[in-house]
Each structure stands twice: as structure tokens, then as C-alpha cells.
Amino acid sequence: MTSAPALDGILVIDKPAGPTSHDIVAGVRRALGLRKVGHLGTLDPMASGVLPLVVGRATRLASLFAGADKEYDARIRLGLVTDSYDITGTVVGGSDAEGVGSVPPPAADEIREAAAAFVGSHPQRPPLVSAKLIGGVRAYTLAREQRRVELAPVTVTLATLSILAVAGQQVHCRLVCSSGFYVRSLAHDLGERLGCGGCLETLRRERHGRFTLADAVPFAALMEDGPTAASRLLPMHGLLPNLPGVVTTATGAQRVSHGNQLGPADLAVSKEPLSAPPGGCVRVMDDAGHLLAVAELRRDGLLHPKIVLV
């Protein structure tokens, strides 16, 4: 009886609104019968969409995906301010706090003008109810215990922000932002700039780095038939297409598996020169195309394995 092939790679989940990212990871572990499953960045419980999970040996590559930009479809509710900066929180202010529609909403042109000021790189204060660490404790834990929370602004980038529609107090938009950007904070800050208050009503992540909804498996489908849905796993050899690669000889493959550095004699002859700068990362593959390691190119021309995958 042959054993099932190892599951190593990235599984992109289409997360539904409701469960936490940790709930999704736990469910995938059960569905696939694996322990080594992690995520590349959380989505708030109220958010849905692209949640890439690293599976098996790919968990060792997670750090290489840090800093990826994200694309979102969002709806902002003007007139309400909440403690979490989203619609699930407790209302603490806003022009509609005493009654829906009590104050006329800002005009669409005013909203667009105010929104445009957020495009670019600016300091942004994270929501008090967030996963930011303060002295080793999550900010949301401190907030729930009604303890004083001080979160310093962090410089983030909003690359694009398109207002798709304005309907009453609801602003429908699409945005591309840097890692660490809080769309909840954008909703809160936009409402503050307009003078009416605001919070995030819905959020759907459409892209995380190179991973899109086209790559994603609905979470419910994975729960119903894990092995079949797992066929959508993106394999190891195709995960880092932007890094230059080298192919080892048989001896080189053995050396890199033990974490030894590689020299010219350990590499198969290539027609293309290695395009990585000194200190850059390089994919190390065998002649069958399997990803063996990610190595750093040293100034002396040697490749020093940083992440060994075999």
C-alpha cells in the first residue's frame, strides 16, 4: 500500500465572514489531517476573501511572503463611529449615533475629495481593537479588559483608492495597500475628516500579493471534501517565480540538503548568468525541478542555504 503524497505548498482559502483566521487554520488542519498549516497574514473575522495558507514544508517559506501588498473591495458606513472601527463594534459616536439618517450625508464629490487625501504613504494609527502587540499582549485583549491602550502610528501606503459608488451613507470603494494597512482605520479616519464619523461595513480581500480569488478554494468546500479541494494546492516549485534560480548537480543536491554552501562545481551549467545581487535570495532546484532550498548569494560567489526544504 503506497502512502499519500506529501502536501507541501500554498492553499489559498476563500474565507467567509465570521470565523477568525485561526479558526480557518484549525479547520484546514482537521480537513487535511496535517499539523503544519499556517497563514500569511490574518483577515478580521468580519472580512472575507483571499487567505493564503502555507502547508507542510512551505511553512518554512512564510517569511519570504512578508510585505506583500493587498487589494480589497470595501464598503464604508458614514455617520457611525465604533470602538472597533467596524460595524461589529459598539457605537461610540457619529452623526447618526442618535438615529439613522438624522444628519444628511456628505455629498459624493466631498467624499471623493476627502478620500483622495489618503492616497500615498502616511502614518496610520491602528484600531484599538486589533492584533497589535503591546508589551507582549494583543491590543484587543487590553481593550476588552478596558485597560488603557496606546498604539503608535505606523507609516503605511495606500497605493490606489477608487470610489466606485456612493449611496446615502454607504461608500463602496476598491483599494490597493501595503502590508500593515488597516482598512478599518481608513474608514474611521475618512469619517473623521468628513466630520460625520465612519466605520467599515464590509470587507473582501481580492488579492494578497500574487494570490487572487481565482486561486482560492471556498472554505466550505474544503470542509466537505478536504482531499479533493487539496488538489488546488499550489506546489512548492512554483511559489517564488520572482527569485532567480539555479539547478544543482547530484552532488550539489546532496550538499544543500545538509545545509552546506554551494560553489560553481555544485551547479549545472546554465546558459543564463545568475541575475541575483550579492545578498539576494536564489531558488536552488534539482534537475527534476524540485525546490530544494532558498540560498543567499554571497559576495564571494558562493550560495549559502538560508532555508533548506529537503
Catalytic pick from 44, 86, 215, 266?
Answer: 44
pLDDT recorded at residue 4: 52
Model confidence band, residue 3 (pLDDT cutoffs 50, 70, 90): very low
Domains assigned to the chain: 9-66+211-236 (3.30.2350.10), 70-208 (3.30.2350.10), 240-308 (2.30.130.10)
E strand or H helix that includes residue 27: helix 21-32
Greater pLDDT, 138 or 121: 121
pTM (2 d.p.): 0.89
pLDDT recorded at residue 269: 82
- For this structure, is 44 an active site residue? yes
17-46 per-position pLDDT tens digit: 999 999 999 999 999 888 999 999 899 999
Distance between CA atoms of residues 8 and 55, nearest Å? 5
Contact 60, 309 (CB under 8 A): yes
* For the chain, counts of helices (H) and of strands (E): 7, 19
pLDDT recorded at residue 128: 80
pLDDT recorded at residue 2: 41
